[in-house]
Amino acid sequence: MRYFETIRCHDYDIYHLNYHKYRVARTIGLNIDLNEYINPPSEKNLKIKLIYDGTGVLSVSYETYIQKEICSFVLVYDDDISYDKKFLDRSSIDILSQKKGKYDEIIIVKNGNITDTAIANIAIKYDGVWLTPKKPLLHGTTRHRLLDSKQIVEENITTDMLLKSDKIALLNSMIGFDCRYNKEMII
């Protein structure tokens, strides 16, 4: 089985590498010094893609990162989807993403609860508190970091809660905590 990490690097600074190292160790049971494999080629905002398996790091690539513009979301329902590790094979997510039609991004609903989008974990501001799904598809590194710092709280989030939320945030290693979205963007 192959897995990957997406790691942000800007101006040669590698962001939150300890959280990525922790996830790699949890995924394959090996403690790998990821610093040994990362050598950013420029000061640009880079997306580092580190591919690994149970034996260690297989490859590292770098690309300039430009954030995807999202203006609309559509709810996609799938009670059977599973993506509990950051598998290189994302076909189950890709199949759901094909259902977005003319909209920019999907919000995946499993067993009546919000889980994630195709590209990020999600949080909602509900009754003045930032909530993130108790059962996301993937336990992302940014989500983990924000839970550790108590900026977000785990909760089962229903579609009704989502549609009554004050704000929506996307969380991933490249965008951090991006809270510029709202329920009016959900189609």
Say what the pLDDT of residue 149 is.
98
Residue for token pair 């969380």: 171
Cβ atoms of 138 and 182 closer than 8 Å:
no
Kindly give the residue spans of alpha helices, DSSP state H, lying in 73-158: 91-97, 141-148
Say what the pLDDT of residue 145 is.
98
Mean pLDDT of 104-115: 98
The whole-model pTM stands at: 0.94
Say what the pLDDT of residue 187 is.
85
95 pLDDT more than 90: yes
Rounded CA-CA distance 93/156 in Å is 21
Identify the band that residue 14 occupies on the pLDDT scale cut at 50, 70 and 90. very high
The string of pLDDT tens digits covering residues 120-152 is 999 999 999 999 999 999 999 999 999 999 999
Rounded CA-CA distance 34/18 in Å is 9
Closest CA to 23 of 11, 31, 15: 31
Rounded CA-CA distance 113/124 in Å is 13
Say what the pLDDT of residue 26 is.
96
24 pLDDT more than 90: yes
1 pLDDT more than 90: yes
The string of pLDDT tens digits covering residues 36-80 is 999 999 999 999 999 999 999 999 999 999 999 999 999 999 999
Element (H, E) at 139: none
Q: Phi/psi class of residue 56: alpha, beta or left (left: φ > 0; alpha: ψ in -120 to 50)?
A: left
184 pLDDT more than 90: yes
The string of pLDDT tens digits covering residues 147-178 is 999 999 999 999 999 999 999 999 999 999 99
Mean pLDDT of 80-85: 96
Q: Which residues contact 144 (CB under 8 A, 6 or more apart)?
A: 19, 22, 23
The DSSP code for 150 is: T
